[in-house]
Amino acid sequence: MLRRLYDWTLSLAAGPRADAALFGVSFAEASFFPLPPDILLVPMTLARPERAYRLAIMCGLASTLGGMVGYAIGALLYDTLGLWIIQLYGYGDKMDAFRDTYAQWGLWIILLKGLTPIPYKLVSITSGFAGYDIWLFFALSLVSRILRFLAVGWLLRRYGEPVREFIEKRLELSAILLLVVIVGGFVLVKYVF
C-alpha cells in the first residue's frame, strides 16, 4: 500500500496538475491544513530537479498568501474558527503568553518559525490574533517561507538522486522519518515554544 501511495504521488508530481496541487497544499497549510507542502514538493523536485527553485519559490509564495488567510483568521475570527484551530493542535492555553511575547519578539518569531518545519498556521493565526503589523508580517513571511523552501529545493537538486534511491530502497523508513518530522514540529511547538 505504501509503495502504491508513493508511486501515485510521484505520478501526480510529474503530471499536468502538479503545480496547482502544490500551490493549493502550500496555501492551505499556512492557515488550516495539517500536512506540510513538502509531501508534494519533495517528489515533484525529485521527478524534475531542473524545476527545484521554481517550485520552491512557488511554494513560498503560496505559503505566504495562505499565511495571510491565517492572519485574517487570527485577527477576525479568533474567537470562533481561530481558537478552534489552535485548540485542535493543543495550544489554546499558551496563546496569551504567546501574544505578550509578540510585542517584543514578533519579528524574530516570524522569521525563525517560518524557516522551520513548525506548522506555519500557528504563526499566521497568532500574528493576526496579536495584532502584529500586517505588512511586516507579510514581508517577513515572504522572506522566511521562500528561504525555507529554497533550502529544500537546493538540497534536493544537489543530493536528489541519492535521496530518491534512499526513499525507494527504504520506503517504510522514509515514511516513518517524515511522520517523525511532522509530529516533531507539533511537539516542539507545544513543549519548547
- Stated pTM of the model: 0.77
Q: How many domains does the chain have?
A: 1
CA distance 31 to 89: 13
Q: What is the pLDDT of residue 84?
A: 80
Higher-confidence residue: 134 or 2?
134
Host domain of residue 92: 2-191
**Segment 1-27, tens digit of pLDDT:** 566 766 776 677 777 888 998 999 899
Q: Cα torsion at 8, 185, 22, 41 (round to 10°)? A: -70
pLDDT digits (tens, 9 = 90+) for 51-89: 999 999 999 999 999 999 999 998 988 777 777 877 776
